[in-house]
Amino acid sequence: MRRPSELVGTAAVRPLRRSRITLMTAVVATVGLAACGTESAGTDAGLNAGGAEDRPRTAFSKMLDEVAETCPAEGPPQAPPTGPANSVPSGSEETPPSDAVEPIAPTSGPEVELNARDWCAGHLHEERVTQALRDLKNPSPADVRTILNDLGYIDERIHGLRKSGTATRFSLDLRDRGGRLCMAGSAAGTRTVVDMCVAPATGPFKPGQRKQ
């Protein structure tokens, strides 16, 4: 038979052990929750970073679609007329001059190497970029980049941006959906010139490869 003092000591130890077990369980649970929170935060950060990186490209693709919204589907562009400019009415005594030259259809360049959609969109890009850059007086490469960015052209599609005399030259890689459209521009205030060009269908873009 245990003495009263022994019973009291045993009763005091049991609550102490239960308190230690409860404390350890709480600590383990807290550590587990913290780890889950860290993992979740890391995953969310990764997703947000990926989304932030893709947003400019998504906006760029949307801009290309908006510019080409009124353009025809991918196909060969309409060939320019090849007949004489003025036909002679039937029964007329007039004959065309012997030195008349019949227009020759192009065999290379954007007219034959771009599809209908890119050919149409190319003229629209020429107009919108030219109009935006004409307001700049003595434009620097930084000025030109800012204007192009404002129009929706992202940095990774802007190439060869450099000062050349009083003008700033640049190229735009507008290849999309297997197309070959590009732009070659010279920003010089009211003397700004922007022309469409043809880039290789695949591979890295190099400014000045196939200018019009």
Q: Is the pLDDT of residue 37 over 70?
A: no
Does an H or E element contain 58, and which?
Answer: helix 4-67
pLDDT at 186: 96
Q: Token pair for residue 171?
A: 């190229």
User: What does the pLDDT read at residue 113?
Assistant: 84
SS3 178: coil
| pLDDT tens digits along 84-141 | 444 444 454 455 455 544 444 444 556 568 999 999 999 999 999 999 999 998 899 9
Instruction: Print burial letters for 167-180: b (CB count within 10 Å at least 16), e (below 16).
Output: bbbbbbbbbbeebb
Mean pLDDT lowest for which of 39-43, 135-139, 148-152? 39-43
Q: How confident is the model at residue 81 (pLDDT cuts 50, 70, 90)?
A: very low
CB contact at 8 A, 193 and 130: yes
Query: What Rg value do the Cα atoms of the chain yield, rounded?
Result: 35
Identity of the amino acid at 177: R
DSSP string, 66-124: HHTTTSPPSSPPPPPP-S-SSPPPTT-S----TT--------SSHHHHS-HHHHHHHHH
The predicted pLDDT at position 47 comes to 44
CA atoms within 13 A on the CB side of 104: 4
Band of residue 51 on the pLDDT scale cut at 50, 70, 90: low
Residues 4-19 have pLDDT tens digits of 555 445 544 455 455 5
Q: For 58-79, write each residue's pLDDT tens digit.
A: 999 999 999 999 999 866 655 4
CA angle 203, 122, 114 (to 5 degrees): 55
How far apart are alpha carbons 115 and 101 in whole angstroms?
A: 28
Half-sphere exposure for 60 (CA within 13 Å, toward CB):
18
Q: What is the pLDDT of residue 52?
A: 66
The pLDDT of 49-53, averaged and rounded, is 60
- Rounded distance between C-alpha atoms, residue 182 and residue 205, angstroms: 9
Compare 20 and 136 and report the one with higher pLDDT.
136
Tell me the average pLDDT across 174-181: 92
